Amino acid sequence: MAARPWYLPLALALFLSACTTWKVEYRRARAEKAYPRGPVPALAGKRCADGVCRCRGPRDPAESPPPAAGRKRIEIRMSAVNGHIKLDSPSTGHFEQGGAEEACFYLDLDVNLSHDFHLDSEEGRTDAGVTPHVHIAEYGPAGPYWYDIVDIHCGLGASACTLESAKDWGEAWKATRKRGRLEPCGSINVSGLKWTTSGGSEADKGGPLRDFEASFALDVRKFATEYPPGASECKIKP
């Protein structure tokens, strides 16, 4: 058996200890700045039962029952390839999902109010990265229609979130939003949207991020939606 330098076991022990210490400090730091967990959500519509909702299909009928007067219904779709994702709102609730399978939630928001949200996603395996996705749409009873309000994503499919893809998404959001939302015919505005991350072991070299967070508010306007998505009546005139 070949002789080994006497210091190798010690170096290995110190390395493992440093890794363990870093993981503990990272988890402690995330716990200290954790956004408050939202309450149990009041899910709405026939798609939801016992705290679980079935995702809407393209040919689903009108919402039954529809949202009450003074309230507007939204759909939240979320997933996190190779990780876990949470969405919290003090006025709306706590939502979470693990893995690539999409989870859906339907709820009614009071009009003339601003509802704060915080998204937090984290990789499930060290240095594997995570691909978070949250899409929110608004229901329009007149059609019935569904209006895209905001789409938050970083990375695509098996390609994990990186600093470059996070920046690309941020720039795309600024360029594509109309009247504070993706679909100008809707009535819910998105304000204060910003993202952050604690990085990754090789994030500066294009490596995956260990986490991705975003904060925003949904400003629910009282006026009723009328036109279908993409209608010329909603386009912003130059």
Name the DSSP class of 57: P
Q: Is residue 231 part of a domain?
A: no
Q: How confident is the model at residue 2 (pLDDT cuts 50, 70, 90)?
A: low
Q: Is residue 51 part of a domain?
A: yes
pLDDT tens sequence across 160-207 = 999 999 999 999 998 988 878 999 999 999 999 999 999 999 999 999
Q: Is residue 95 part of a domain?
A: yes
State how many domains the chain has: 1
Q: Is residue 5 part of a domain?
A: no
Q: Is residue 170 part of a domain?
A: yes
Name the residue among 119, 116, 63, 120 with its Cα closest to residue 90.
Answer: 116
The whole-number average pLDDT for the span 24-29 is 49
Name the residue among 132, 26, 135 with its Cα closest to residue 82.
Answer: 132
pLDDT tens sequence across 126-154 = 999 999 999 999 999 999 999 999 999 99
Q: Which domain holds residue 128?
A: 43-224
* Side chain identity, residue 235: K
Q: Is residue 15 part of a domain?
A: no
Q: Is residue 119 part of a domain?
A: yes
pTM: 0.85
